[in-house]
Structure formats: C-alpha cells, structure tokens
C-alpha cells in the first residue's frame, strides 16, 4: 500500500508542475495583452515550457497506465492525444508574428487547460489523502497484531 501513496504523491508533484506551467503561460499572455512585454519575449517564454509540459503530461498518463489506475489514465489520455496531435502537426509552438491575432484563442486554450488541471489536482489530492489514511490505518492494524501497541 505504500507504493500507492508514493504514486499519488508523485502525481501530486506532476500536477502542481503542470498547473505552474499553465499559470505562467497565462501570465505571459496577459502581460502581452496589456503591453508589459514584447511579443518575442512572451512567445519565447511560452514556447520554452510547451515541450516539458507535454512530456510531464505524457509521463503522468503512462504512470497511471502502468500502475493500473485505469480511471485516471482515461482522464489524462485525451489531453496526451491532443498534445501529440499538436506536436505532429507542428502547431504546438506560439508564432511571434501571429500572437496578436491568436491572443484570445491562446488565452482561452490555456484557461481550459487550467480548469482541466484543477479538476485533476482535486482528484489527485483526494486520492493522495485517502490512500495515506488507508495506509496509516492498515499500518496500525499490523502494529497491534504484532503486539507493539
């Protein structure tokens, strides 16, 4: 049961990283919208985080698949597929010349991903807490059975 706590703890760290990436990208787009940053800096900062975000999302889905968490794998698989399709079609990076034309669409896309990651975050937190409590309760039963307590 300790491996399950470790799985959810690792998932928690991955989801926090994904949330951080999306929030940072939204901040860059908002700064661009209010003219606090130039388009080149904004797109380079966003594009720097795209591939690590895709990789973390893929590793998270693979982790759920390998550990037998089918429900969580089914939840994360559509976004992994969408990211793979963006990467294959070479539409995963933000173009510096088209950023102002696509600003609202990019913000909406990242807001949807933020909501998705927040839902995933709450599910992972619930599973982390429940698996930790179950592991502690089962650990106490073993201690009582051996006569330690």
Which two three-digit tokens encode residue 98?
Answer: 């088209």
- How does DSSP classify residue 91? -
Which two three-digit tokens encode residue 35?
Answer: 């003219």
Which two three-digit tokens encode residue 79?
Answer: 């976004």
User: Which secondary structure element, helix H or strand E, spans residue 98, and what is its range?
Assistant: none
C-alpha 119/C-alpha 14 separation (Å) is 14
Mean predicted lDDT score pLDDT of the chain: 91
Cα–Cα distances (Å) from 17 to 10, 13, 57, in that order, read 11, 6, 10
Cα–Cα distances (Å) from 99 to 72, 105, 121, in that order, read 34, 10, 29
Q: What is the pLDDT of residues 57-111, one digit of tens each?
A: 999 999 999 999 999 999 999 999 999 999 999 999 999 999 999 999 999 999 9
- For 14, what's the count of Cα atoms within 13 Å in the CB-facing half-sphere? 23
Domain ranges for the chain, please list them: 2-145
Q: What is the pLDDT of residues 18-37, one digit of tens each?
A: 999 999 999 999 999 998 99
Q: Is 140 helix (H, G, I), strand (E, B) or coil?
A: helix
C-alpha 18/C-alpha 60 separation (Å) is 10
How deeply is 138 buried, as exposed, middle or buried, from its count of CB atoms within 10 A (0-12, 13-18, 19+)?
exposed
């Amino acid at each position: 049961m300790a491996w399950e706590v470790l799985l959810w703890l690792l998932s928690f760290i991955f989801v926090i990283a994904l949330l951080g990436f999306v929030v940072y990208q939204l901040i860059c787009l908002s700064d661009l919208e209010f003219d606090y940053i130039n388009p080149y800096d904004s797109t380079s900062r966003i594009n720097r985080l795209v591939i690590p975000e895709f990789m973390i999302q893929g590793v998270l889905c693979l982790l759920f698949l390998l550990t037998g968490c089918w429900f969580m794998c089914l939840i994360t698989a559509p976004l992994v597929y969408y990211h793979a399709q963006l990467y294959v079609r070479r539409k995963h990076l933000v173009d510096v010349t088209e950023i102002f034309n696509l600003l609202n669409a990019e913000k909406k896309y990242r807001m949807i991903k933020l909501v998705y990651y927040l839902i995933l975050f709450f599910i992972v937190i619930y599973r982390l807490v429940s698996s930790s409590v179950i592991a502690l309760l089962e650990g106490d039963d073993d201690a009582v059975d051996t006569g330690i307590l």
